[in-house]
Chain A
Amino acid sequence: MIKSASYTIEPLFMRLLLSLIAILFIGIFVALPLSVVFAEALSKGWRAYMDALMTEDARSAIKLTLLVAAIAVPCNVVFGLAASWAITKFEFVGKRLLITLIDLPFSVSPVISGLIYVLLFGTGSVLGGWLEEHNLQIIFAVPGLVIATIFVTFPFVARELIPLMEEQGTEAEEAAVMLGANGWQTFWHVTLPNIKWGLFYGVLLCNARAMGEFGAVSVVSGHIRGLTTTLPLHVEILYNEYNFAAAFAVASLLTMLALFTLLLKSIIEYYFPHEVKAF
């Protein structure tokens, strides 16, 4: 048996070679930059690292990032749930179009999407003029950041839930309705328990992207220090000022967020392999 198996797999040197290439590739493009981030961040010592994170601007950037994520992620959870519920449990005209539209942010460059909002809500536009008259600031202010972030991150939850809910079908929901449950009861007691891990997984990815988004946010932010700079923008500002240690210190925060997300993601994939659709 063991002997026969050797006919069906690659020879040893080939396996080693392939593994080596993979490890080298990941090493150069992932592990090395990651370690550089932490090495640079701590290059001037632990004190300087903490100081960089404790400046007024850094603290407001952290707060702003958390605020934007705290608004954008729940919005996308609601939107993602509603869209996937509609798409998988009902038949309606325009369903294909809706699925295509959900994918749009994945295919549009974030800078372009930021630009669209500037054109839409900026001072030059019709809508912008009306907003200005009513003293509402969207572009170069927090609402703009939130809107841009929502746009960029809205596929994550929906994209995770649609295949999952499609696979689960509608029978359990039909059973609940036949037993007299109303729409809300059906969703809360039947649908949600079946998708909770998939939903959590989608939220995780959505959150990571929301906190780490640069392109779209950069266009609408206006880079007003302490007011409209999120963490990624703050990193950019520090970097442009040749303040490398501080820039990497802030960047290390985002890196830790990424690593933490990756860890949780792996845990979910390991323990609930059937309840999530890995991206």
Chain B
Amino acid sequence: MSIQVRNISKRFGETTVLDNVNLTVHSGELIALLGPSGSGKTTLLRIIAGMERADTGTVLLDGHESLTQNAGARRVGFVFQHYALFKHMSVFENVAFGLRVRPKKERLSDKEIHRKVMQLLALVHLDKFHDRHPSQLSGGQRQRVALARALAVEPKLLLLDEPFGALDAKVRKELRRWMRRLHDEIHVTSIFVTHDQEEAMEVADRVVVMSNGRIEQVGSPGDVYHQPANSFVYDFLGNYNVFEGWKDTEGKTHLLEYETREEDSSPPPAPTAPSGWMKRYPEITGLLHKILPSLVPGVPSLLPPPKKKPRPTPNQGKPIKLFARPHELFVAKTPDDHEYVLATVTHINPAGPLVKIEMERRNGAALTAEVPKEVIDMLSISKNDQIYVRPKNTRIFEGG
């Protein structure tokens, strides 16, 4: 089922929960509505479900106005964060509910209902628990019952409101992988709400990032992560560092305050490869400087002299903010020609595939870098060390 959300706005009293939201979901897609709490994602889901009424705008399901039909006819399955199972009914009866409440002429026979319910319970690996009551199941099992119950009415659209929100971390991971596989099997158009960016990235075909009642960006997990539309999306999808910087006339970005290799000190350091091929092959240049004088006196003057790198000065342009993810930081014990900031290591967390280094700059700003373990070992970085840090990659967002 395809969904078109058109100009949906919704207010609760003084607060605007949804502000002119437009969204198109294609048939068979698995979409994540991702955002912090209060971003309006659950309200949007409930409006699509028909449980909540929008102040303005329409929702078209397969091109039809959704609210003119009743819930049963719309064939929309809904899974609640806290399961909302019927606690006085067995697992079997919970799943059978949607089939039993159909009008008599559309209702399946008891035998068919039994067969279908057991089939669904097998799909969610709960066939052995059919006569249990919800209170006798774990959270993950309850959520699977809720899913089977929603699937029983053969929905053309499945809506899930923070489906894994009430589960512990491990079960949550298992269940969301399982849900992804299930979706690949049954291909029902699905929208799920989550505030967990990892969950959205891992499960969804496309991610809809929301904040303050607006859609900030819609895209594949890769797009949203690597080409965030604005600083909100960038911020929401992971940790980051901010550097003060500026843009020179060529559009190159520079750090506002930085350290670099000390060139003014005497004696001058080994020749700096200046330009062209010599820059590209510094080892050859070095070698030439070393061996040529001994072979041919006077030749060194033919070589380009070691030139001091001009220290760029900030132009009149506005200072800008440069953003970089922790894994985009490069750390060193001694600076080279790049622009570095100096920071003191405040904490090292070696748990995980990358070692996390917490640092503080002299101006008090905190930095976080994630670097491979070998780098730490090689540089033998430890707490309270002064190290040089530079962003390998930065991003600028209009308006901060």
Q: Which residues of A contact B (CB under 8 A)?
A: 171-172, 174-182, 185, 189-190, 193-194
Contacts A174-B51, A178-B77, A180-B153: A189 and B97 contacting too (C-beta < 8 A)?
yes
- Asked if residues A172 and B86 are in contact (CB atoms below 8 Å), the reply is yes
Q: Which residues of A contact B80 (CB under 8 A)?
A: 171, 174-175
- Asked if residues A177 and B71 are in contact (CB atoms below 8 Å), the reply is yes
- In the complex the two chains form, what is the Cα distance from A181 to B80 in whole Å? 17
- Interface 1/0 per residue, B43-63 and A, CB below 8 Å: 000000101000000000000
- Asked if residues A174 and B78 are in contact (CB atoms below 8 Å), the reply is yes
* Residue B88 is within 8 A (CB to CB) of chain A in the complex: yes
Q: Among A171, A179, A180, A181, find the residue whose CB has the most chain B CB atoms closer than 10 A.
A: A179
**29 interchain pairs (CB within 8 A)?**
A171-B82, A172-B84, A172-B86, A174-B78, A174-B84, A175-B78, A175-B86, A175-B146, A176-B86, A176-B97, A176-B101, A177-B51, A178-B77, A178-B150, A179-B72, A179-B97, A179-B101, A179-B149, A179-B153, A180-B71, A180-B73, A180-B98, A180-B101, A180-B102, A181-B72, A182-B72, A185-B101, A189-B97, A194-B87
Q: Which residues of B contact A193 (CB under 8 A)?
A: 86, 88
Contacts A193-B88, A194-B87: A178 and B82 contacting too (C-beta < 8 A)?
no
13 further contact pairs, Cβ within 8 A, besides A175-B78, A180-B102? A172-B84, A172-B85, A172-B86, A175-B84, A177-B51, A178-B49, A178-B150, A179-B150, A179-B153, A180-B73, A180-B101, A181-B97, A194-B88
- Asked if residues B97 and A178 are in contact (CB atoms below 8 Å), the reply is no
Min distance, Cβ B44 to any Cβ of chain A, angstroms: 16
Number of interface residues of B (CB under 8 A): 25
Q: Which residues of A contact B345 (CB under 8 A)?
A: none
Contacts A177-B71, A180-B71, A180-B153: A171 and B84 contacting too (C-beta < 8 A)?
yes
Q: Which residues of A contact B51 (CB under 8 A)?
A: 174, 177-178
- Asked if residues A180 and B86 are in contact (CB atoms below 8 Å), the reply is no
| Residue on A nearest B80 in the bound complex, by CB | A171
Q: Which residues of A contact B73 (CB under 8 A)?
A: 180
* Residue B76 is within 8 A (CB to CB) of chain A in the complex: yes
| Residue on B nearest A177 in the bound complex, by CB | B71
- In the complex the two chains form, what is the Cα distance from A86 to B188 in whole Å? 35
Q: Which residues of A contact B71 (CB under 8 A)?
A: 177-180
Min distance, Cβ B166 to any Cβ of chain A, angstroms: 12
- Asked if residues A182 and B77 are in contact (CB atoms below 8 Å), the reply is no
Interface residues of B in 81-124 (CB under 8 A from A): 82, 84-88, 97-98, 101-102
Q: Across the A-B interface, give the 9 residue pairs with the lowest CB-CB distance, nearest first.
A: A180-B72, A179-B98, A171-B84, A181-B101, A175-B84, A178-B78, A193-B88, A185-B101, A177-B71
Choice from B76, B101, B146, B150 contacting A182 with Cβ under 8 Å: B101
How many A-B Cβ pairs are below 8 Å? 62
Q: Which residues of B contact A178 (CB under 8 A)?
A: 49, 51, 71, 76-78, 150
Q: Which residues of B contact A171 (CB under 8 A)?
A: 80, 82, 84
- In the complex the two chains form, what is the Cα distance from A179 to B79 in whole Å? 11
Q: Which residues of A contact B101 (CB under 8 A)?
A: 176, 179-182, 185, 189
- Interface 1/0 per residue, B229-253 and A, CB below 8 Å: 0000000000000000000000000
Q: Which residues of A contact B97 (CB under 8 A)?
A: 176, 179, 181, 189
Interface residues of B in 277-333 (CB under 8 A from A): none
| Residue on A nearest B101 in the bound complex, by CB | A181
- In the complex the two chains form, what is the Cα distance from A189 to B96 in whole Å? 12
Min distance, Cβ B299 to any Cβ of chain A, angstroms: 86
Q: Which residues of A contact B152 (CB under 8 A)?
A: 179
- In the complex the two chains form, what is the Cα distance from A181 to B153 in whole Å? 11
| Residue on A nearest B155 in the bound complex, by CB | A178
Min distance, Cβ B18 to any Cβ of chain A, angstroms: 18
Min distance, Cβ A191 to any Cβ of chain B, angstroms: 10
Q: Which residues of A contact B150 (CB under 8 A)?
A: 178-179
- In the complex the two chains form, what is the Cα distance from A179 to B153 in whole Å? 7
Interface residues of B in 118-165 (CB under 8 A from A): 146, 149-150, 152-153
Q: Which residues of B contact A172 (CB under 8 A)?
A: 84-87
- In the complex the two chains form, what is the Cα distance from A77 to B88 in whole Å? 22
Q: Which residues of A contact B77 (CB under 8 A)?
A: 178
Min distance, Cβ B43 to any Cβ of chain A, angstroms: 14
| Residue on A nearest B77 in the bound complex, by CB | A178
Q: Which residues of B contact A180 (CB under 8 A)?
A: 70-73, 98, 101-102, 153
- In the complex the two chains form, what is the Cα distance from A172 to B78 in whole Å? 11
Min distance, Cβ A188 to any Cβ of chain B, angstroms: 10
Q: Among B78, B84, B152, find the residue whose CB has the most chain A CB atoms closer than 10 A.
A: B84
Min distance, Cβ B57 to any Cβ of chain A, angstroms: 20
Q: Which residues of B contact A177 (CB under 8 A)?
A: 51, 71
| Residue on B nearest A192 in the bound complex, by CB | B88
| Residue on B nearest A175 in the bound complex, by CB | B84
Min distance, Cβ B375 to any Cβ of chain A, angstroms: 50
- In the complex the two chains form, what is the Cα distance from A217 to B169 in whole Å? 63
Interface residues of B in 373-398 (CB under 8 A from A): none
Q: Which residues of B contact A176 (CB under 8 A)?
A: 86, 97, 101
Interface residues of B in 5-37 (CB under 8 A from A): none
Min distance, Cβ A177 to any Cβ of chain B, angstroms: 5
